[in-house]
A and B are shown apart, each in its own frame.
Chain A
Amino acid sequence: MSLTEVSAVCTDRVILDRWHPISALAETTPVPQRTQLLGAAIAHRRVGDPEPEVWLVDDAETPDAGPPLPVLVRYGYVWTSLGDPIDLFEIPEFDEPDRRRLNAGSIHVATSAPRAVENFLDLGHFPYVHTGLLGAEPHTEVTEYDVDIVDGEIWATRCQFFQPQAAQNASGGQMTQYTYRVPHPYCVLLYKSCAIDPTRRDTIGLFLQATSPETCRAHNFLCMVDEESTDTQLRRFQQLIFGQDKPILENQQPKRLPLDPRVETPIRADKSAITYRRWLTELGVRYAVVPAD
C-alpha cells in the first residue's frame, strides 16, 4: 500500500453522506482514541452520557482537538459522517428485550470494505474456509436462492447451506437457513435460523469502517437469542469465524471491489454478489471499488 492510497481522502458523495461506524460504544474511553475514516484522520472520546465526541484531526500537532463531526449512537456503536448523512438503516430486532447485544470485536483488515461485505454474503466458501464449523466437504452445493432489492436494500432469501456445527451452541449437522441484507454500501446483516428457538432468527452484522480505499476495520455485531453462552464464548466463536475469513480477504487482488462483472468470473451461486456489485454501480459508489466504467 502506498502512502498516496492511505491519504486519499474520499470525494465520493454517496459515501460521504452516510453514517459510518468508528467504534463500539463500550470501547470508547475518556482518553481520545485516534482512528481513520475514508482516508481522513479522526478521533473520538467519551465525555459522559449520552454521546461521545468525534472530531476531524486536521492538524497533526493538535490531535486532541479539531472540527467536530456529527455523532450518532446506534446498535451499540458510535457512528459519524464526513458529509451530510442520510438516515441510518433500522435493525428492529435490536429492540427485542431478550436479545443478547454484543460488540464482538473490531478488527482491521487489509482489504476494501466492499470485499468484506461480499465475502459476508457468500455461502460457497463455508466448506473450505470454515471447515467443520459452517460447512464441510463433500456438502458443497449452493442451491438456488432469491435476491431482490426492497426499499433500496438488497435482500437475499431462501439461502441454505449444510452446516456441521451451525453456531457455538449447536451440535450435529443440519441444513441452516439464512437471509442476508445489505442496507448500506459498507454494512451487511445476516439472519440465521436459531439453534435454540426455531421460530426466531439470530442477527449477525458486519459494519465496515472504510479506513482507506484498500483497508477497513470490521465491527462484528451480534444480536442473538441465546441465554446460555457467555459473552466471552459468543465473541470467541465470532472471532474464530472472522479470523478464518481474514486471510482470504487479504489475499484477494485487486483489493478494491471490481464492479465490472467481466473482471472476475461470477457463477449462479454468486447471485447476491452480482446484485451487490450492480447495486453499488447504480448508487454511483466510486470509493473502495473499481468502477465499471
Chain B
Amino acid sequence: MPTPPDTAWYPVARSDDAPARHIFHGQLLSQELAVWRADDGFVNVWQNRCLHRGVRLTVGDNDGGELVCRYHGWRYANRSGGCTYIPAHPADAPAQTICNTVFPSVERFGLIWTTLGSDGEPPLVDTLEGASEFGLRPLPVNAPADVVLDHLGSYRFAPAGALTGDPAVRVAGIGDASIELVSTADGHESAAVFFVQPVDAARCVIRGVLAATPGEALAIPVLRHHNHRLSVLRDRIESSVVGHPPGASPAPAARADERSVVPADRAGLHHVRVGRRWDEADGIVGFALEPIEGQLPAFQPGAHIDVHLPNGLVRQYSLTNGPGQTRHYLLAVKREPQSSGGSSYLHESLAEGDELHVSAPRNNFPLRRDVTRTLLIAGGIGITPLVSMAHALSHAGLEHELHYFARGPEHLAFATEIDRLSTRLITHLGLSPEATGVALRTMVADPGPDTQIYVCGPGPLIQATRDAAAAAGWPDQAVHFEYFANPTVLDQSSSFEVSLARSALTVSVPAGRTILEVLRDHGIAVPASCQQGACGTCSTRVLEGEPAHQDVYLNDSEHRAGDAMMICVSRSHSDRLVLDI
C-alpha cells in the first residue's frame, strides 16, 4: 500500500470537536495543532506553539476572535494568526512579522481537514459527495497508520437497518489513507469510509463516516455499534503491536515555518476585491475588501491601510474592524468636497466586484489596554479608527466612552454597530467651534489616573483637544491623536546640509525639496508612506543638529526632545543635520 505524502490533506478533528470558545488539541505527523473556531465560524488550524516562548496555545484562551497565550497574554488574530497585542508593551503595535504558523483548513464530511503542505484541496470521495453523511466516534489507536489501515480491511459491521443481522462486508475501495467498506444484511446496505489520520509514527486516529444518516431512533444505536466494534478492533491491533518500538518521527515539528497563508506581491501589496459596498451615512460609503486568495494580514485597532486605486492614486484609510473580524478589511470613506480623485473615485467608480491592491495594515495609533478608562473623541469621519478601538475595548471589558462630534444626525456613521457594544456613546451635533471647545474642556476636565485619550478628526478638533487636555494637566503621553492629513502649511524655503552617519554621505537639501526626495535622488531607500508628516513611516533618528519639525506624528515633548524627525516634511533650523541612516 503506498504511503501518502506528508503534504497530503488529512482529517484532524470532527467539526463538532471545535465548539465556540474551545481549543481542540490535535496532532498530525508529529506536528501538534491548536484547532479553534472563531465566533464567525471560521476554523483555525495552527501550530500549537506561541511564538514568544514556545508555550502550547491549547492551554490558552479562545476568546471568539483571537487566541490568547496563557503565559503572557499575547493575542493572535483569527485566520491570519498575526499577533495583535503584546501586553508587556501596551503602547506598541506588534511587528507585522510576528505571525503564527497557520495551516489551511476545510470542513468536509463533518470533519476538519488540514495539510502540512500548502496546495490543493482535501480528497474527493465519491461515496460521500452529496450524501447525508454521518460521522462516527473517532477512535485513537496506539499503532501506526499503515498497520491500522491494513486491519480495517477486516472490520465487520452491520448496516444501520439491520444491526443484529449477520452482515457481509466487502472492501469497495482503498485510498492512500482511507478505506471504503460496504456492509449488507437482510436487504439493508451501509457504505462507510474510514479515514486514518497519522498522529505520529506510532499512533493514529480512525475517523469513520457513513454515507447515509440513520433515522433518529437509530442514530445512537448505530454509533454504539460502530464504537463497540471499532474498540474491539483497536484492542486487537494494539495487542498485535505491543513490543514494537515506535519508529523515527516522520516529520519535524516546525516544518512549515517558511509558509504563509498571507500572500502578497513583491511590493508587499495584497490583491483584494470589493465584496460589499453600502451607504454608511450621508456622504459616507462603506466598503468590505475581501482577499482574492488566502487570508489578509492581521491588524490592530487604530491601524490603517494604503488603498491603491485603479486610477493610480494611493489613499490611506483606517480599518473599522473589531477583533476577530478578519474575513475582510472594512473601510468607511467620506466624500471630500476638494477631492483630487481619491474619495471621489471611491464614491463614484468603485463597485462591488472591483479588484484593487492594498498594503498590509500599519498602526501609528495603537490602543493601550493597560488602563482602567479610555476616552475616545471623534470628529466626523475621524470616527473610523475609534470604532475599531471601541470594538476592542468592549471585547476586553474595559471601561470607555466615545464622544462623537458631527454636523447632524444624518452624518453619524456606525450608530447601530456601536449600539451593540458596551461603549458609552455621547454625540455632539452641530456645535459651533466655541461650543465644541466648551464640550472638550468639560470632558477632559479631570485627568483621572490610568486614563488615556484618543482623538481623531479634523485638525482643529485635534488641536483643540490637545490644548484643552494640556490646560487641564494631562501628560502628553496620555493624549493620542491621528491626523488624516497634516494641516500645517509646509515651509520649504530653507536650505541645509544632511550628513548620513551610517552611509558616510553628506547631501545638500535645497529650498523646495524634501530630505526624503534628496536621499532618494542619491539612491538611498528610506521607507516612507504618506509623505505629509502624518504616518510616522519615515521617522529617523537625529544624532546632531536641530530639526525644524513640520509633522503631526510626533507629540510636543518628542518635538522638543529633537532626537527624531519625519524626513518627508521636516527640515532643519541648524545648517547641518546628522541622521542615523
Give residues in A with beta carbon < 8 Å to B: 118, 123-125, 127-129, 137-142, 247-248, 251-254, 258, 264-269
Query: Per-residue 0/1 for B252-265: is the Cβ within 8 Å of any A Cβ (1 yes, 0 no)?
Result: 01000000000000
Q: Quick one: which of A128, A139, A265 contacts B370, CB cutoff 8 A?
A: A139
Contact across chains for B98 and A141 when beta carbons are under 8 A apart: no
Contact across chains for A252 and B370 when beta carbons are under 8 A apart: no
Contact across chains for B54 and A254 when beta carbons are under 8 A apart: yes
Supply 20 further A-B pairs (C-beta < 8 A) apart from A125-B71, A268-B89, A269-B88. Answer: A124-B72, A124-B87, A128-B70, A128-B71, A129-B70, A129-B71, A137-B87, A138-B372, A140-B370, A141-B88, A141-B370, A251-B55, A251-B56, A253-B32, A253-B49, A253-B253, A264-B51, A265-B98, A267-B86, A268-B88
Select from chain A the residue with minimum beta-carbon distance to B83: A265
- The number of residue pairs between A and B whose CB atoms lie closer than 8 Å in the complex comes to 75
Query: Per-residue 0/1 for B371-382: is the Cβ within 8 Å of any A Cβ (1 yes, 0 no)?
Result: 110000000000
Residues in B with CB closer than 8 Å to A269 are 88-89
Contact across chains for B73 and A127 when beta carbons are under 8 A apart: yes
Q: Quick one: which of A137, A141, A248, A265 contacts B70, CB cutoff 8 A?
A: A248
14 sample A-B contacts, Cβ–Cβ < 8 Å, listed by A number: A118-B53, A124-B88, A129-B70, A137-B73, A137-B370, A138-B369, A138-B372, A140-B90, A141-B88, A251-B56, A253-B49, A253-B54, A253-B253, A258-B54
User: Is B398 in the interface zone, CB < 8 Å from A?
Assistant: yes
Give residues in B with beta carbon < 8 Å to A: 32, 49, 51-56, 59, 70-73, 86-91, 98, 253, 369-372, 398
Q: Quick one: which of B52, B70, B91, B253 contacts A267, CB cutoff 8 A?
A: B52
B478 to chain A, nearest CB (A): 14
Residues in B with CB closer than 8 Å to A268 are 88-89
Residues in A with CB closer than 8 Å to B55 are 248, 251-252
Distance of A269 Cα from B98 Cα, bound (Å): 16
Distance of A254 Cα from B59 Cα, bound (Å): 16
Contact across chains for B59 and A251 when beta carbons are under 8 A apart: yes
Distance of A125 Cα from B53 Cα, bound (Å): 11
Distance of A144 Cα from B452 Cα, bound (Å): 20
A69 to chain B, nearest CB (A): 34
Q: Quick one: which of A118, A128, A254, A265 contacts B73, CB cutoff 8 A?
A: A128
B77 to chain A, nearest CB (A): 16
Given A247-B59, A251-B59, A142 contacting B370 (CB threshold 8 A): no
Q: Quick one: which of A128, A142, A254 contacts B89, CB cutoff 8 A?
A: A142
Residues in B with CB closer than 8 Å to A139 are 370
Select from chain B the residue with minimum beta-carbon distance to A249: B55
Contact across chains for B71 and A138 when beta carbons are under 8 A apart: no
Contact across chains for B88 and A267 when beta carbons are under 8 A apart: yes
Select from chain A the residue with minimum beta-carbon distance to B61: A128
Given A247-B59, A253-B49, A140 contacting B87 (CB threshold 8 A): yes
Select from chain A the residue with minimum beta-carbon distance to B52: A265
Select from chain A the residue with minimum beta-carbon distance to B49: A253
Residues in A with CB closer than 8 Å to B370 are 137-141
Distance of A129 Cα from B73 Cα, bound (Å): 9
Residues in B with CB closer than 8 Å to A137 are 73, 87, 370
Residues in B with CB closer than 8 Å to A128 are 70-73, 87
Contact across chains for B87 and A265 when beta carbons are under 8 A apart: no
Q: Quick one: which of A127, A251, A254 contacts B87, CB cutoff 8 A?
A: A127
Residues in A with CB closer than 8 Å to B369 are 138, 140
Contact across chains for B53 and A264 when beta carbons are under 8 A apart: yes
Distance of A139 Cα from B87 Cα, bound (Å): 9
B538 to chain A, nearest CB (A): 23
Distance of A124 Cα from B59 Cα, bound (Å): 17
Residues in A with CB closer than 8 Å to B72 are 124-125, 128
Contact across chains for A264 and B52 when beta carbons are under 8 A apart: yes
Which 3 A-B pairs rank lowest in CB-CB distance, beginning with the nearest? A140-B87, A124-B88, A269-B88
A220 to chain B, nearest CB (A): 20
A229 to chain B, nearest CB (A): 29
Residues in B with CB closer than 8 Å to A247 are 59
Distance of A127 Cα from B32 Cα, bound (Å): 27
Distance of A264 Cα from B51 Cα, bound (Å): 6
Residues in A with CB closer than 8 Å to B52 are 264-267
Distance of A125 Cα from B371 Cα, bound (Å): 17
Select from chain B the residue with minimum beta-carbon distance to A265: B51
B476 to chain A, nearest CB (A): 17
Residues in B with CB closer than 8 Å to A248 are 55, 59, 70-71
Select from chain B the residue with minimum beta-carbon distance to A268: B89
Distance of A111 Cα from B282 Cα, bound (Å): 60
Distance of A118 Cα from B87 Cα, bound (Å): 19
Distance of A138 Cα from B400 Cα, bound (Å): 14
Distance of A247 Cα from B56 Cα, bound (Å): 10
Contact across chains for A264 and B54 when beta carbons are under 8 A apart: yes
A66 to chain B, nearest CB (A): 30
Distance of A125 Cα from B60 Cα, bound (Å): 13
A285 to chain B, nearest CB (A): 19
Distance of A251 Cα from B372 Cα, bound (Å): 32
Distance of A211 Cα from B372 Cα, bound (Å): 45
Residues in B with CB closer than 8 Å to A265 are 51-52, 98
Residues in B with CB closer than 8 Å to A118 are 53
Q: Quick one: which of A127, A138, A266 contacts B371, CB cutoff 8 A?
A: A138
Given A128-B72, A252-B53, A142 contacting B88 (CB threshold 8 A): yes
Residue among B51, B59, B70, B72 with most chain A CB within 10 A: B72
Select from chain A the residue with minimum beta-carbon distance to B47: A253
Given A138-B371, A140-B73, A252 contacting B54 (CB threshold 8 A): yes
Select from chain B the residue with minimum beta-carbon distance to A140: B87
Distance of A125 Cα from B90 Cα, bound (Å): 14
Residues in A with CB closer than 8 Å to B70 are 128-129, 248, 251
Residues in A with CB closer than 8 Å to B89 are 141-142, 267-269
Select from chain A the residue with minimum beta-carbon distance to B90: A141
Distance of A254 Cα from B53 Cα, bound (Å): 9
Residues in A with CB closer than 8 Å to B53 are 118, 252, 264
Residues in A with CB closer than 8 Å to B87 are 124, 127-128, 137, 140-141
